[in-house]
Amino acid sequence: MFQPLSDRVLIRRKASTEKVGSLYVAPANATKPDEGSVVAVGPGRTTLEGVLLPMTLEPGMQVLFGQFTGDEVEVGEETMLVVRESDVLAVLNE
C-alpha cells in the first residue's frame, strides 16, 4: 500500500459531487474540497535531538485542510493528497 514518511499524512478528499436522482453532478463553481478522511499517517517528526514526536492524527479521522495544501499522488487508481500534519487545520467531529 502507501506508507507516508516522517510527519506526513495521506488524505482521501471528500467527494465534490452530489447525487441528483441516479446521476452524480458537479457543482457549477466546482473547487477541490478541503475536507477529507485520513487514510495513513507516518511515524512522526524527529527533533534535532533525535526524539520522535508521535503523530496526533490517526486513520479514519475527518479533517479540514487548506485548499492549496499538499501534493496529489496516485494510489492505485485513486488520487489522494499527502500533507504535513501541521498543514491540517482541524479535526471534524461528525
Q: Where are the domains of the chain?
A: 8-15+33-92
**Which CATH number is 8-15+33-92's, of 2.30.33.40, 3.90.180.10, 2.40.50.140, 3.20.20.70?**
2.30.33.40
What was the pLDDT predicted at 27?
60
pLDDT digits (tens, 9 = 90+) for 42-73: 999 999 999 999 999 999 999 999 888 899 99
Cβ contact 4:10 at 8 Å = yes
Q: What is the pLDDT of residue 30?
A: 53
- The candidate with the shortest Cα–Cα distance to 68, out of 45, 50, 89, is 89
The pTM assigned to this predicted structure is 0.79
Cell of 3: 506508507
